[in-house]
Amino acid sequence: MKLITIDPRALRENPDRTRLTKSSPQSDAVLLASIKAVGLVQPPIISAEVSGGNGYIIDAGHRRVTQAIAAGLAEIEVLVAELPTDGGAMRSFAENVAREPLNPVDQWRAIERLVALGWTEESIALALALPVRQIRKLRLLANIPPAMLDQMARGDMPNEQQLRTIAAASQDEQVEVWKKYKPKKQDPQVSWWEVARALTKTRMLAKHASFGEDLAQAYGIIWAEDLFAPADEDSRYTIDVEAFFGAQQEWLANNLPKRGAIIEANEYGQVKLPAKAQQVYGKAGKGDLTGWYVNQRDGSVQSVVYRMPETRKTKTVDGVTAPVEETTEAKQRPDVTQKGLDMIGDLRTDALHEALARAPIEEDTLTALLILAFAGTNVSIASGSSDNPYGHAKCGPHAARLIGEDGKLSFDRDTLVQVARSVLIEVMSLRRNRSDSGLVARIAGEAISADGFLPNMATEDFLSCLSRNALEAAADAAGVPGRIKVKDTRVALVEHFTDAKLVHPAALLAPAVEDVRSWAARHAPIETEEDGSEIAEGVVDQSTGDGLLEDSDPVEEAVDEGFSEAAE
């Protein structure tokens, strides 16, 4: 071979080249940037045209020639070789097969050599068209012992997460762990997962810290930067867990909001509420309290809303009054615990109220909802509103908006609709207490598609309320493989629904058709003959839903027709 200088535009494509698939635009951009920065590192190989012409064809290096032209180079150096008898097919094939990206260890060694020659990280990144952060990541391999580097250079590489954990440990710790997990003759592959696990240390992330630099310095916290983390987030961390928690607790004590209280939480993030307190899973009301705590898992400051039971006064035999708190009977745990059912009641009510406030409602439907509201089992009326969870419904302020200055009814249609919605929100409830509206609220919720307003229930709080069978059923329905431990299944479900929404079937508002039929039959008006005797068409057998008399079909048809129209 001989080395010559030639205009790259004078070279012709080899019709028998091996690499026919176009490279990616990103790959071409990297090559172009490299040529602009340092020129052609390796000359392309060319050969004389077989047809007897005076030109040359490219034997190897088509991309280099193309990007050299794109870089505006007038001349490039090339190697002229004699064309083999096979037209260069084998040489082209071998050259392309043998060419592959350098492994990270070789890249790191090359970077360290360039640094020793005076190159900066920024200049290396510019020449290779790589982010500076990537160069710094590779330089972290300087923290890896030689024995591990040799194993990695053989192609047995840990993944990025494992490499990050290993590099963060001291060399002495790595050497000790390597003695136990280094490859054996019978098993040349290293279990990098076990190596990383043995070197894992609990990290407290700066992004979870509520305290500032003043408390960090006071507690002696020194932040380290995780260069493997995404570039657009705060990647600082500390392994001084005790100091981190101390700073978080002091910040919380100094910044406790009004009506807030510091509460305890266990290692699993479960909070210890005051005696007889009831956690609020929906929207907080005016009388609700907020408990603040430091999450033992990640050190973040979190809060929980809870409600103390209502205190009512009762008179003793001697006429002395004493406060008595309402209590809730403990029941045997079904698929969903009492806490889970309470949570469902809160979430259902909030979803129903959101739908009543925002969902499109036809005028006739709205009128029907008002009728249903006053047929509810809670018509005393105990309010289901978040602002008044234990008091009586206060519809007066809403009705007052319909009265004009002259003391007579005076309103426009928009005001009437707004008031009607507000009254429904005040009256209707699905909470599991004395404000429960019963089946009618579920019928109303289905009619206005309130299920769409239910939140994501894939939370640790709710999933912990499910039995193993119910939890595994939810995981199976979501396509999440079950785990041996129940808590691992919960974690997998929470991660699976990070960007989606899980709604447990038990939380859906739509009632069973049989329940609605039974309710309608029980409340159907009883017609009478002219002599005052009752007509039996409205009497329905509750066990079968069929009329007890043969002439009961008209009533059933009327009920069926009504529900068909509602469904439409």
- Average pLDDT of the residues in 458-470: 90
- Average pLDDT of the residues in 138-161: 82
- Long-range Cβ contacts of 49-56 (<8 Å, 24+ apart): 49/12, 50/83, 50/87, 55/10, 55/11, 55/12, 56/6, 56/10, 56/11, 56/12, 56/80
User: Does 257 have pLDDT greater than 80?
Assistant: yes
Closest among 64, 61, 213, 229 to 137, alpha carbons compared? 229
User: Does 100 have pLDDT greater than 60?
Assistant: no
> Any idea which of 94-108, 247-261, 412-426 has the lowest mean pLDDT?
94-108
> Any idea which of 234-238, 353-357, 525-529 has the lowest mean pLDDT?
525-529
Contacts of 457 (CB under 8 A, 6+ apart): 347, 463, 501, 502, 503, 504, 507
What share of the chain has pLDDT > 90, as a percent? 9
pLDDT averaged over the chain? 77
Query: What pLDDT does residue 371 have?
Result: 57
User: Does 327 have pLDDT greater than 70?
Assistant: no
What DSSP letter does each residue of 355-418 carry, written as one string?
HHHHS---HHHHHHHHHHHTTSTTTTTB---TTSTTSB---HHHHGGGB-TTSSB---HHHHHH
pLDDT confidence bin for 548, thresholds 50/70/90 = very low
Tokens of 395: 């519809």
pLDDT confidence bin for 296, thresholds 50/70/90 = confident
- Average pLDDT of the residues in 80-105: 59
pLDDT confidence bin for 80, thresholds 50/70/90 = confident
Closest among 397, 343, 396, 395 to 507, alpha carbons compared? 343
> Any idea which of 42-51, 309-318, 366-375, 541-550 has the lowest mean pLDDT?
541-550
Task: Specify the CATH class of 2-98 in words.
Answer: alpha beta
Give 272's strand partners. 264
Query: What pLDDT does residue 511 have?
Result: 92
- Average pLDDT of the residues in 212-219: 90
pLDDT confidence bin for 554, thresholds 50/70/90 = very low
> Any idea which of 28-42, 63-77, 240-254, 335-349 has the lowest mean pLDDT?
28-42
Q: Are strands 56-60 and 11-12 parallel, antiparallel or unpaired?
A: parallel
Query: What pLDDT does residue 568 have?
Result: 39
Whether the Cβ atoms of residue 501 and residue 519 lie closer than 8 Å to each other: no
Residue type, 503: V
Query: What pLDDT does residue 130 have?
Result: 79
User: Does 508 have pLDDT greater than 90?
Assistant: yes
- Average pLDDT of the residues in 39-52: 77
pLDDT confidence bin for 379, thresholds 50/70/90 = low
**Pick the residue with more confidence: 87 or 448?**
448
Give 45's strand partners. 60, 79
What share of the chain has pLDDT > 70, as a percent? 73
Tokens of 281: 């899973």
User: Does 96 have pLDDT greater than 70?
Assistant: no
Query: What pLDDT does residue 409 have?
Result: 59
**Pick the residue with more confidence: 91 or 205?**
205
Domain limits, the chain: 2-98, 260-327, 338-507, 522-567
Instruction: Give CA–CA dist 411/405, Å, rounded.
Output: 11
- Average pLDDT of the residues in 184-195: 84
Tell whether the torsion through CA atoms of 252, 254, 259 and 261 is positive or negative. Answer: positive
Which helix H or strand E contains 454, and what residues bound it?
Answer: none
User: Does 504 have pLDDT greater than 90?
Assistant: yes
Residue 532 DSSP one-character state? S
**Pick the residue with more confidence: 347 or 384?**
347
Rounded to two decimals, what is the model's pTM? 0.38
Contacts of 513 (CB under 8 A, 6+ apart): 563
User: Does 306 have pLDDT greater than 80?
Assistant: yes
- Average pLDDT of the residues in 162-166: 83
- Average pLDDT of the residues in 394-398: 65
Query: What pLDDT does residue 552 have?
Result: 40
Encode 122-178 in three state secondary structure.
HHHHHHHCCCHHHHHHHHHHHHCCHHHHHHHHCCCCCCHHHHHHHHHCCHHHHHHHH
